[in-house]
Structure 1
Amino acid sequence: MWRAAAEQGEQVAQYNLGLRYANGRGVSRDDAEAVKWYRAVAGQGMQGRRRYSGCSMQAVVV
């Protein structure tokens, strides 16, 4: 569900997919894959960076 929307550039889906990979919810935990999706959402302009990048780095570090 999240993957198709994330691949189409949907920011919320990209962030949620990153969270799933970071936490191993519904998928195998994979920090590299989580960062891939966090970077995708952060790369979508200032609004995406402000909204998601701080949370994403915190999720990966923890």
Structure 2
Amino acid sequence: MTVEFTIEGQEFIALNGGPLFKFNEAISFVICNTQEEIDDYWSQLIDGGDERAQGCGWLKE
């Protein structure tokens, strides 16, 4: 099930995973159009973060 909402003009879509998937801090943003943009954002986000929490496209600081 999805829930769509807007905060300060920015549209969001939230997913309800049901009882098998408990609420957590995970969030995804679609902000890029090219791989170069993705690589640039990723390198900035991981700078100084916990290397053990940066696998498979996931980031946790």
State the TM-score, normalized to the length of structure 1.
Answer: 0.34
More strand by share: 2
Q: Which has the larger radius of gyration?
A: 2
RCO (CA 8 Å, sep 6+): is it higher in 1 or 2? 1
TM value normalised by structure 2: 0.35
The structure in which a higher percent of residues are helix is: 1
